[in-house]
């Protein structure tokens, strides 16, 4: 439980759907109406540009197959560190596992938005004073969040600390996103946009109870017309913070012993099918055999890494109380994301260097 009421609002949708513009309007409106203090965290500003860097063929560890996943994991961990301290209005130290690029970006963002003040003590230690403020805090996360599993991780964080949680999905015509994206200084490749549109999973409150506090907005019109809907959503969420799960460890251990091996086997079969689909896509695009071999090696490394990750997560489930099936679904979705990144990079390298 936390002392200061905190709400987390996830903004999701395709690139150039209008999330950043909406985020700025939300911050201004939340402060203007006195609803809460507000912190905006944009993933584009916090995650380094090398997030999609592809590892070299030699000496690469499985976990380096995509820095993107690692950076997102670190960002969420650092956010939790900030929440733990700001909820108690206590001073905040640098993370125990060390300072990284994500942490530096978050500190800069927190200082810019007057959330913390640096209080350097000694050579090796760095302490930050939480700027103590009355009333609740709304944290807005601005990212594509196109997979439901990405948003579910944020929901798990909210549930862990009894925070309020809501999400706003911006539904924008693909041709509008494409046009807006092309006008940007650093546009995203159009083939990446196409894949993201195919993978996009809008909120489904009927199927998923944790997505009940969701709002879908059509963003090809005026953002200002819908801001009152967002404020209403935030207000409702703040009145109903998420409840922590009750301790039923013993029953979970019994269930885990029965189904863990089956889940691992089923996940392995699913991963194999996804790898086969990726190989077929590459073959259909006339990728030569030498490049196909490289793709197969990278995808098999990825499969082994994620299966091991799943095995470890199942072992640790006694602490998080999340059913193994949900964990498997999350990791399968993440593997599918990583598989697409590897496939895109291989095919891009081949298209740019066909002689190789």
Q: Which tens digits make up the pLDDT trace of 127-162?
A: 888 887 778 999 999 999 988 888 999 999 999 999
Domain final position from 213, 239, 265 = 239
Q: Which pLDDT score is estimated for 93?
A: 86
β-strand pairing of 6-13 with 137-142: parallel
Domain final position from 239, 267, 289 = 239
Among 50-59, 78-87, 325-334, which is the least confidently predicted range?
50-59
Same domain, 149 and 197: yes
Same domain, 131 and 154: yes
Domain CATH number, residue 105: 3.40.50.300
Q: At what angle do helices 289-315 and 249-284 cross, to 10 degrees?
A: 170
Same domain, 198 and 281: no
Same domain, 228 and 105: yes
Among 40-54, 98-112, 208-222, 284-298, which is the least confidently predicted range?
40-54
Q: How many domains does the chain have?
A: 2
Query: Do the domain assignments include residue 325?
Result: yes
- Asked if pLDDT for residue 337 goes beyond 50, the answer is yes
Residue 49: φ, ψ to 5°: -65, -20
Same domain, 253 and 201: no
Query: Do the domain assignments include residue 112?
Result: yes
Query: What is the average pLDDT across 165-169?
Result: 97
Model pLDDT for residues 197-256, shown as the tens digit of each residue: 888 889 999 888 899 999 999 876 566 678 989 999 999 999 999 988 665 545 555 555
Domain final position from 239, 264, 291 = 239
Query: Do the domain assignments include residue 1?
Result: no
CB 11 within 8 Å of CB 142:
yes
Query: Which one, of 240, 321, 309, 230, lies nearest residue 268 by Cα?
Result: 309
Dist. CA 44–CA 290, nearest whole Å: 35
Query: Do the domain assignments include residue 244?
Result: no
> Measured in Å, how far apart are the chain's first and last C-alpha atoms?
57
Query: Do the domain assignments include residue 32?
Result: yes
Query: Do the domain assignments include residue 341?
Result: yes
CB 272 within 8 Å of CB 335:
no
- What six digits make up the tokens of 320? 């998080």
Residue 241, helix vs strand vs coil: coil
Residue 128, helix vs strand vs coil: strand
Beta bridge partners of 217: 170
Residue 203's domain spans which residues? 6-239
Q: Which pLDDT score is estimated for 345?
A: 84
Give the Cβ contact number of residue 308 at 10 Å.
11
Among 102-106, 178-182, 191-195, 272-276, which is the least confidently predicted range?
191-195
Same domain, 295 and 233: no
Q: Which pLDDT score is estimated for 64?
A: 41
Sheet holding 164-171, edge to edge: 37-42, 137-142, 6-13, 164-171, 214-218
- What six digits make up the tokens of 174? 């693909």
CA 282 from chain center: how many Å?
27
Q: Which pLDDT score is estimated for 27?
A: 94
Q: Which pLDDT score is estimated for 191?
A: 82
Same domain, 99 and 220: yes
Query: Do the domain assignments include residue 194?
Result: yes
Same domain, 176 and 105: yes
The pTM for the full model equals: 0.69
Q: Which pLDDT score is estimated for 53?
A: 44
Dist. CA 113–CA 165, nearest whole Å: 21
Sign of the dihedral defined by the CA atoms of residues 319, 325, 326, 328, in that order: positive
Same domain, 233 and 254: no
Same domain, 77 and 225: yes
């Amino acid at each position: 439980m936390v002392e200061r009421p905190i709400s987390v609002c996830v903004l999701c949708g395709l690139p150039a759907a209008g999330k950043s513009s909406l985020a700025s309007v939300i911050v201004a409106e939340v402060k203007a109406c006195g609803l809460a203090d507000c912190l905006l965290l944009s993933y584009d500003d916090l995650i380094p540009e090398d997030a999609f860097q592809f590892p070299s063929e030699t000496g690469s560890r499985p976990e380096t197959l995509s820095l993107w996943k690692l950076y997102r994991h670190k960002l969420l961990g650092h956010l939790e560190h900030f929440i733990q301290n700001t909820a108690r209005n206590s001073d905040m130290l640098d993370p125990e596992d060390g300072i990284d690029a994500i942490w530096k970006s978050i500190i800069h963002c927190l200082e810019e938005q007057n959330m913390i003040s640096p209080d350097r003590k000694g050579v090796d230690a760095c302490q930050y004073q939480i700027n103590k403020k009355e009333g609740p805090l709304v944290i807005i996360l601005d990212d594509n969040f196109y997979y439901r599993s990405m948003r579910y991780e944020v929901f798990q964080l909210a549930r862990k600390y009894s925070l309020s949680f809501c999400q706003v999905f911006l539904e924008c015509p693909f041709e509008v996103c494409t046009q807006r994206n092309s006008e940007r200084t650093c546009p995203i490749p159009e083939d990446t946009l196409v894949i993201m549109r195919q993978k996009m999973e809008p909120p489904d409150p009927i199927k998923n109870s944790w997505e009940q506090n969701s709002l879908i907005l059509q963003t090809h019109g005026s953002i200002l017309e819908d801001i009152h809907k967002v404020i209403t959503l935030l207000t409702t969420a703040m009145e109903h913070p998420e409840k922590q799960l009750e301790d039923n460890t013993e029953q979970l251990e019994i269930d885990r012993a029965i189904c863990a091996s089956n889940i691992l086997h089923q996940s392995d079969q699913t991963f194999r099918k996804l790898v086969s689909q990726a190989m077929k896509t590459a073959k259909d695009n006339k990728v030569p055999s030498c490049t196909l071999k490289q793709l197969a090696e990278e995808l098999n490394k990825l499969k082994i890494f994620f299966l091991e990750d799943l095995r470890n997560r199942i072992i640790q489930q006694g602490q998080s109380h999340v059913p193994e099936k949900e964990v498997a679904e999350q990791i399968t979705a993440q593997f599918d994301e990583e598989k697409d990144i590897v496939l895109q990079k291989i095919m891009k390298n081949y298209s740019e260097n066909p002689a190789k």
